Structure 1
Amino acid sequence: MKIAFFSDIHANLYAFKAMLEDLDSQRPDTAYCLGDLVGYHIYPNEVIEEIRRRGIATLKGNHDEKVDSITTTPESLNETDENYAYHLISQDNRDYLKKLPTLINIGFTFGEATFKIALAHGSTRRIDEYILIDTDENYVLEILDEADADILIVGHSHKPYHRIIETKSVVFKHVINLGSVGKHKDGDLRGCYALLTIDNNSSLLLRDSINVEFRRIDYDMEASSKAIEESPLPAEFAVALRSGR
């Protein structure tokens, strides 16, 4: 079974369209979005509406949660203001974001093996917690135990990795960070999403039997950056996009 996971689009429609084109070419059995559809760019409605049109199961990210906390009005915005990104969102799409869950648990069984997967934007404890590649191993195992999960899949840090942790009972647990579709922070200017493959040959007792492929996607980053510069958003957002930081 091949499952696509992506996160942190941040309203970057150029990157999102390129990612979807690649995703469709890979023909996954299903797909999940781990949140942060909005923020930092000018196309939140287009991104949300495509997610909804495709019926993709989606989590709430910290920026999606932030939408309801913005107290400024469009009329009170400064000449450049990061809150402009949230004011663009239609009421219907605001209502959609508000109803998104913060945790999804899924499971797949092949023969006698069952793989329990927990999906969260930051972590299963907090929507804005960073689970990094070097986060304390015991702490990560606590989270996996709390979630009753063999595989934890997260976003939020925008830095992709696949970490395998061997437990005392010689079972291998997996932590996967998806990176970011539309706001890159690992120095790579391409969009990123992940394909997870689990089948009858997969086992929690075999370290490398669960396959994770990170797909890197080129897109028209210059056009995307110029769209930010031509909007009321801070120009620093375009600088960050071009630098991958």
Structure 2
Amino acid sequence: MKIALFSDVHANLPAFKAMLEDLDEQTADAIYCLGDLIGYNVWPNEVIAEIRKRGIATLAGNHDLKVENLITTPQSLSEPGKKYAYHLVEQHHRDYLLTLPAHIRLEFKQGSEKLNIVMAHGSTRSVDEYTLFDTEEKQVLEMMEEANADLLFVGHSHKPYHRIMESSAGVFKHVINLGSVGKPKDGDSRGCYVMLTIDKKSSVSDPESIKVEFRRVAYDLNMASQGILESPLPDEFAQGLFEAR
């Protein structure tokens, strides 16, 4: 089974379209999004509409939740600042964002063995908590034990990695950060998403049996940055796309 996972589009439509074009060629059996559809750029409605059109199961990211109790006026749509990105979101899409779940859980039965996948935006404990490559191993393993997760997929930091840890029970736990489609922060300006492959041999006892592929997709950076520069959003958001910081 091939599962595509992505996160942190951040209203970057050119990056999102390029990612989808690449994803469509991968013949994924399932697709999941780990949130942060909005913020930092000017196409939140187009991104959300495509997510909903495709029926992609999606989590709420910390930026998605910023539309709660947001009052939009003509003045707020012209004032400079980062909040402009949230005021752009149409009401019916705001309603959708505020109904998204915090976690998605999947359980695979591989013979007598179970393989539990948990998806969260930041961590299983908080949408705002970072699960980083160098987060203390004991802390991560405790969190995964709480969540009954063998594979934990997260976003939020915009820095992709695949970390494998051995638990006290002698089984291997995997943490995969998907990076970011629309605002990478790992020095590579290309969008990033993950293809996970699971088959009948996949097992928590064999770390090599879980196949994780990071796919990087180039897109029109000039178009994405121009959208920012022609809006009330801070110009530094545009420069950040090129620097991937």
Q: Into which bin does the TM-score normalised by the smaller protein fall?
A: over 0.9
SS at match of 2:37: coil
1:126-145 equivalence runs, <5 A? 126-145=126-145
Partner of 2:177: 177
Q: Report deviation, 1:72.
A: 6.3
Post-superposition shift, 1:107?
A: 1.3
- 8 Å CA contact retained: 1:180, 1:191: yes
Query: Within 2, Cα distance between the matches of 1:76 and 1:18?
Result: 31
State the SS of the aligned residue for 1:107. Answer: strand
> C-alpha deviations, 1:200-238, integer Å up to 9, x for none?
121111121101000000100111101110111110110
Alignment of 1:214-233 (within 5 A): 214-233=214-233
Alignment of 1:1-245 (within 5 A): 1-71=1-71, 73-76=73-76, 79-245=79-245
* Letter of the structure 2 residue corresponding to residue 75 of structure 1: Q
Structure 2 counterpart of 1:93, which letter? H
Q: Distance in 2 between matches of 1:51 and 1:78?
A: 27
Number of residue pairs matched? Answer: 245
Say which is worse superposed, 127-136 or 111-120, in terms of deviation.
111-120
Tell me by how many angstroms 1:112 deviates: 2.6
Structure 2, gaps ≥5 residues long? none
Quote the RMSD (CA, aligned, Å): 1.2
CA contact (8 A) 2:110 2:203 kept: no
TM, length-normalised to structure 2: 0.97
Partners of 2:53 and 2:77 in 1: CA distance: 32
What TM-score do you get using the length of structure 1 for normalisation?
0.97
Indicate the SS of the match to 2:165. strand
Q: Distance in 1 between matches of 2:68 and 2:41?
A: 17
Residues 76, 87 of structure 2: 8 Å contact kept: no
How far did 1:110 drift? 2.7
Contact 2:193 2:214 in 1 (8 A): yes
Paired amino acid for 2:129: E
Residues 226 and 76 (structure 1), Cα distance of their counterparts in 2 relative to 1, 3 Å cut:
closer
CA contact (8 A) 1:74 1:87 kept: no
- 1:133-175 CA-partner distances (Å, limit 9, x unpaired): 0101110011101111111100000000000001122100000
- For residues 76 and 144 of structure 2, what CA distance do their matches in structure 1 show? 44
Moved more, 187-196 or 104-113: 104-113
State the 4+ residue runs in structure 1 displaced beyond 6 angstroms.
none
Q: Mark the runs of 5 or more structure 1 residues left unpaired by the alignment.
A: none
8 Å CA contact 2:77, 2:87 repeated in 1: no
User: % of aligned pairs identical?
Assistant: 63
Measure how far apart 1:69 and its partner are: 4.6
Residue type at the aligned position of 2:169:
S
